[in-house]
């Protein structure tokens, strides 16, 4: 994994140096629109099993969504849905809807200070989860203990570069295209421009540095990006 990450990082930096960004710059609005629609479907699909509280097998490749929905319907028919998890999910969804579309317009007329409804719900949910021990009594999944400390850096094994080079090229291109596509979606929505070449260097540097640690190469997380943007965040600090 470390060798793959470093190879991806070097390829992306090289693509930035040779100004390969002009190829990505020709992504049309139609492609971006299709990407946005597909991203929305993936965002919804990625949350359904968590809302229902069911465990699903991982799928990848062509037809991934169809297999996921097939597994979801099978879980529903076999009565595998965690009812407590479903109720909690619905309560949070309704609360966020009311807060965003009803409370926020009223409060904006009186104050410019944004109200962190998301934070309030997280704090309230954490307290209630601890008080009622829903994890033990109703098998509601929780984050649990978060490990502390920082892993020691280690150099990748260069002998694997040749064997991972083909995969590294494919991952490098897909990573950049997905990141730039989502970047253009956000740029169009908030009226600003992105520097595609800068994205090459940013992704390449992150992948290269992450190769010193047990980390996957970085790219855009569709669901997290849209959810983060809808929450009203403005800077990269929100992703930390």
pLDDT in tens, 102-139: 888 887 777 777 778 888 888 999 999 989 888 888 88
Using a cut of 0.75, tell me whether the model's pTM lies above it.
no
Domain membership flag for residue 58? no
Q: Do the beta carbons of residue 87 and residue 53 sit within 8 Å?
A: no
Q: Answer whether residue 51 is part of any domain.
A: no
Token code pair at residue 110: 């009186």
* Whether 36 contacts 185, CB under 8 Å: yes
Total structural domains in the chain? Answer: 1
Give me the long-range contacts of 221-224 (CB less than 8 A, separation at least 24).
222/39, 222/42, 222/43, 222/178, 222/182, 223/42, 223/43, 223/46, 223/47
Query: What domain range includes position 202?
Result: 2-45+156-239
Take residue 10 and report the two structure tokens written for it.
């070097």
Give pLDDT, residue 239.
Answer: 58
Evaluate whether 119 touches 91 at the Cβ level (below 8 Å): no
pLDDT band at 14 (very low <50, low <70, confident <90, very high): very high
Q: Kindly report the average pLDDT of the chain as a whole number.
A: 83
Residue 173 lies in a domain: yes
Query: Can you give 47-101 as a three-state secondary structure string?
Result: HHHHHHCCCCCCCCCCCHHHHHHHHHHHHHHCCCCCHHHHHHHHHHHHHHHHHHH
Q: Does the residue 79 lie in any domain?
A: no
**In angstroms, how far is the first alpha carbon of the chain from the final one?**
23
pLDDT digits (tens, 9 = 90+) for 210-220: 888 888 888 88
**Could you tell me the pLDDT band of residue 228, with boundaries at 50, 70 and 90?**
confident
Q: Are 188 and 32 in contact (CB under 8 A)?
A: yes
- Residue 226 vs residue 92, higher pLDDT: 92
174 inside domain: yes
Return the pLDDT at 240. Answer: 52
Residues 30-83 have pLDDT tens digits of: 776 776 677 778 778 888 999 999 988 888 777 888 999 999 999 999 999 999
Residue 221 lies inside a defined structural domain of this protein? yes
| Portion of the chain with pLDDT greater than 70, in percent | 91
Are the CB atoms for 18 and 204 separated by under 8 Å?
A: no
Please give the pLDDT value at position 25: 66
Is 117 among the domain residues? no
Residues sharing a CB contact under 8 Å with residue 80, sequence separation 6 or more, in sequence order: 54
Q: pLDDT digits over 154-197, tens only?
A: 888 877 778 888 888 888 887 888 888 888 888 888 888 888 88
Task: Look at residue 109 and tell me if it is in a domain.
Answer: no
Q: Any idea which residue has 């209630």 for tokens?
A: 128
């Amino acid at each position: 994994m470390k060798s793959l990450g470093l190879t991806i990082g070097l390829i992306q930096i090289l693509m930035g140096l040779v100004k390969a960004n002009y190829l990505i710059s020709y992504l049309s609005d139609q492609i971006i629109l299709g990407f946005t629609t597909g991203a929305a479907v993936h965002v919804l699909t990625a949350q359904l099993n968590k809302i229902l509280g069911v465990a699903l097998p991982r799928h990848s490749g062509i037809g991934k969504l169809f297999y996921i929905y097939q597994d979801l319907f099978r879980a529903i028919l076999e009565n595998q849905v965690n009812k407590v998890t479903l109720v909690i999910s619905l309560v949070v969804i309704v609360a966020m809807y009311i807060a965003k579309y009803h409370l926020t317009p009223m409060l904006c007329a009186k104050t410019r200070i944004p109200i962190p409804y998301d934070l309030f719900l997280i704090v309230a949910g954490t307290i209630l989860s601890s008080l009622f021990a829903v994890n033990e009594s109703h098998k509601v999944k929780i984050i649990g203990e978060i490990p502390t400390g920082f892993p020691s850096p280690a150099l990748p094994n260069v002998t694997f570069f040749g064997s991972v080079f083909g995969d590294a090229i494919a991952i490098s291109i897909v990573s950049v295209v997905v990141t730039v596509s989502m970047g253009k979606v956000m740029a169009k929505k908030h009226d600003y421009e992105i520097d595609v070449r800068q994205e090459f260097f940013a992704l390449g540097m992150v992948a290269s540095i992450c190769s010193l640690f047990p980390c996957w190469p970085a790219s855009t997380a569709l669901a997290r990006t849209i959810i983060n943007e809808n929450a009203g965040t403005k800077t990269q600090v929100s992703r930390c």
